[in-house]
């Protein structure tokens, strides 16, 4: 199992991660709801509660995180909130951190398995790893990772894989710049609007299953 402690893992321990983890640690737990967790694509989601009105969503994303960070800091980020439903986005920083697809897959599924072991009744929406113009060279590995995650989710009835990547690509599988901020990495308002439209009906359906 490819799990190393924070500081020794080749893709962990960034300054932004340490800052983000402090922020998450200082926030009061909100138990029994829907935890959004993952890297900056989650952390930077504007108006999460407004976008999913009527649902008990909380944002526990933090920038710079990789899947191993979520394993090492599981209690702080997820455990103390005792969620019924988990929405995850991670993997892009893993690939960018020079992990192989196998290593990134092992870390991500270790995190998800940890969540299920701790909370056997939990359900998980596993949103696909996105592509971005700034990381266009990593798209083949991202696609491989998504295929591995989708197959793994199909084998675990408590996980639902959700394709939130296709809308970002044109017919040639190239990222569409209009969905990204000037940094050509993070989503802009149009990108989040599309993501919200894909996720909202699935989120409500999965929430109904745990209530």
- The pTM for the full model equals 0.90
126, 161 Cβ separation under 8 angstroms: yes
- Of 163, 193, 164, give the one whose Cα is nearest residue 178: 193
- Quick: pLDDT tens for 27-79: 778 899 999 999 999 999 989 999 999 999 999 998 888 999 999 999 989 99
- Sign of the dihedral defined by the CA atoms of residues 202, 206, 207, 211, in that order: positive
Average the pLDDT over 86-111 and give the result. 96
The H-or-E segment that residue 69 falls in is: helix 67-72
Q: First-to-last CA distance in the chain?
A: 34
Domains of the chain (ranges, CATH numbers): 15-24+33-209 (3.40.50.1110)
Beta bridge partners of 126: 88, 161
The 3-class SS string of 59-126 reads ECCCCCCCHHHHHHCHHHHCHHHCCCEEEEECCHHHHHCCCCHHHHHHHHHHHHHHHHHHCCCCEEEE
The DSSP call for residue 9 is S
CB atoms within 10 A of CB 163: 11
Residue 8 is predicted with a pLDDT of: 45
- Quick: pLDDT tens for 105-129: 999 999 999 999 999 999 999 999 9
């Amino acid at each position: 199992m490819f799990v190393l402690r924070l500081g020794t893992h080749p893709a962990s321990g960034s300054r932004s991660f340490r800052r983000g983890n402090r922020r998450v640690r200082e926030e009061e737990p909100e138990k029994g709801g829907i935890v959004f967790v993952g890297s900056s694509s989650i952390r930077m989601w504007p108006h999460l509660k407004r976008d999913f009105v009527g649902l008990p969503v909380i944002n526990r994303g933090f920038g710079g995180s990789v899947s191993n960070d979520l394993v090492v800091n599981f209690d702080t980020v997820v455990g103390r909130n005792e969620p019924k439903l988990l929405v995850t986005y991670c993997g892009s920083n893993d690939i960018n951190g020079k992990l192989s697809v196998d290593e990134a897959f092992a870390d991500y599924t270790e995190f998800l398995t940890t969540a299920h072991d701790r909370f056997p009744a939990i359900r998980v929406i596993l949103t696909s790893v996105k592509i971005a113009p700034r990381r266009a060279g990593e798209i083949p590995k991202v696609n491989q990772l998504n295929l591995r995650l989708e197959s793994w989710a199909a084998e675990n009835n408590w996980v639902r894989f959700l394709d939130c990547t296709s809308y970002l690509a044109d017919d040639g599988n190239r990222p569409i710049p209009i969905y990204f901020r000037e940094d050509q990495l993070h989503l802009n308002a149009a990108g989040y609007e599309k993501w919200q439209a894909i996720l909202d009906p699935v989120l409500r359906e999965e929430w109904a299953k745990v209530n």
